[in-house]
Structure 1
């Protein structure tokens, strides 16, 4: 009887061990054999050309554009404009290398259509008229860049861009459409007329309280839409730091110039894209004007 109990005990232990081994093998197989989740194909990509640098395309390689008149962040391309520049919309944003999904949003146009935006800029295709019909340009083409000096490819590294909108002159109270320079976030840049009159003292023409009201624009990058030439930009060295919230976040004293004219922000614009409160103002001893390209 003792031998029988011993055999049953050994048999039970063997069964238990077999079950344990089976469970371990199953657990290992379940953890190791799970199929890898496929990486979604990007629906928005970056491509590079020798002439235009890096810019956005859709998943098929069709070029995406920004409209300088959308500087306030809303689509103002309506009527006949909308036929030539169809809106781009992608419900499922998957970005390629070098892009951040958080920079892409969806907003509704005035006609109630969803449109994808990038850093606040509505995105478009180009579809010029051909034989009485609007035909979208082929993948890989960039024929829409520079059209009317108001349409450009979208380069994520633009340090200065171009905007177009109705601007009121604060001296004459007259309003007119103007194209002017903005930073990469859509904030207006200005010229100081005193700099034209005193080109030999540029670093000291606006300092102290003037600099507090009209902070200098500093930018390390040199990437611009095709309307602008890199050779037209330079820097001057200021006697005080020009970084802070209006600059590139550094304590650099290098202020960017365009065609020899220093570029400034205006504090009353409150770091808001598309806002133009300083054009035509007489302040700090002379007049301030939007920086025209």
Structure 2
């Protein structure tokens, strides 16, 4: 019987010639969201390698980017996300925008691309207008731009006078407002009792500094020990949550409790705490 050896020869040739002569699909899995190294460090990117951003005006978890804003900042959405294995699926969600379209969120922040990012890894959208931030996985501090509304239901400006104006202030990574206390001193918490019995009223912000928006100076952040806990400090001011904010993102009830200005929001321009 005559055996045709040609198929075996072809297979053998391909094995010897790889990867030049007989190509196989060696490309890694395509992810809808990945982590990519950039000049800002590792940021979230879409399936084209383009940087994803968050908008500080979206702190309450809904999108404030409407109309022409969407042309410059295209909404990012995938019905079923295929994620880089280093990412946590629990950090991602979906919202329905006011225009009826869906949008993917990360840690509660709606995600966008930036039209002027021409190449994969570009981060040209960072700090555009002072309100756009490249999305990262490990922000300790985030920025919000919203109208301040106190526990009394009144609207306040950054001077703690009644009025309407957006104010930029610090939040944690999930958009929960952070405050200082006017009776604290530089690096000294004068509110929290030794037994933490009042901690539920103004919980200390327990954190170590990791990533920050590029406009913030890491050297201005430190930590102090409060009992056996670590509290984050900015310009000497220990940072707190307000219990009545209920852990809800974008809520600023503390600005008027017990009266306006006693527990101010914290900003980049906040003055250094007194000694």
TM-score, length-scaled by structure 2? 0.77
Alignment of 1:7-18 (within 5 A): none
Q: Provide structure 1 residue ranges, at least 5 long, that are not aligned to the other structure.
A: 1-37, 129-135, 241-251
Q: Aligned pair 1:288/2:269, yes or no?
A: no
Query: Does structure 2 retain, via aligned residues, the 8 Å contact 1:71–1:164?
Result: yes
Please, which of 158, 162, 171 is the counterpart of residue 182 of structure 1? 171
Aligned to 2:22: none
Aligned to 1:256: 232
Q: CA RMSD in A?
A: 2.3
Aligned to 1:120: 108
Note the C-alpha offset of 1:274: 1.1
Q: Aligned pair 1:199/2:175, yes or no?
A: no
Query: Does structure 2 retain, via aligned residues, the 8 Å contact 1:281–1:289?
Result: no
Per-residue CA deviations over 1:5-37 (Å, capped at 9, x if unaligned) read xxxxxxxxxxxxxxxxxxxxxxxxxxxxxxxxx
Per-residue CA deviations over 1:51-96 (Å, capped at 9, x if unaligned) read 4121100111011000011010001101222221110112231011
Which moved further from structure 2: 76-85 or 55-64?
76-85
Aligned to 1:274: 250
Q: Report SS of the residue matched to 1:279.
A: helix
Q: Aligned pair 1:142/2:117, yes or no?
A: no
Note the C-alpha offset of 1:175: 3.6
Aligned to 2:132: 151
Query: Does structure 2 retain, via aligned residues, the 8 Å contact 1:158–1:225?
Result: yes
Note the C-alpha offset of 1:172: 4.2
Note the C-alpha offset of 1:108: 1.7
Q: Report SS of the residue matched to 1:193.
A: coil
Q: Structure 2 vs 1, CA of residues 259 and 94 (structure 1 numbering), >3 Å: closer, same or farther?
A: same
| More helix per residue | 1
Which moved further from structure 2: 180-189 or 160-169?
160-169
Rounded to whole Å, the distance in 2 between the matches of 1:281 and 1:209 is: 19
TM-score, length-scaled by structure 1? 0.73
Per-residue CA deviations over 1:224-275 (Å, capped at 9, x if unaligned) read 111212111001222x3xxxxxxxxxxx422111111110110000111111
Note the C-alpha offset of 1:206: 4.1
Note the C-alpha offset of 1:209: 5.8
Query: Does structure 2 retain, via aligned residues, the 8 Å contact 1:94–1:101?
Result: no
Q: Structure 2 vs 1, CA of residues 232 and 199 (structure 1 numbering), >3 Å: closer, same or farther?
A: closer
Rounded to whole Å, the distance in 2 between the matches of 1:204 and 1:119 is: 32
Alignment of 1:41-120 (within 5 A): 41-49=30-38, 51-120=39-108
Which moved further from structure 2: 274-283 or 225-234?
274-283
Rounded to whole Å, the distance in 2 between the matches of 1:199 and 1:181 is: 18
Q: Report SS of the residue matched to 1:235.
A: strand
Larger Rg: 1
Rounded to whole Å, the distance in 1 between the matches of 2:28 and 2:210 is: 34
Q: Provide structure 2 residue ranges, at least 5 long, that are not aligned to the other structure.
A: 1-26, 153-159, 269-275
Which contiguous aligned blocks of 4+ residues in structure 1 show a shift greater than 6 angstroms?
none
Note the C-alpha offset of 1:210: 5.0
| More strand per residue | 1
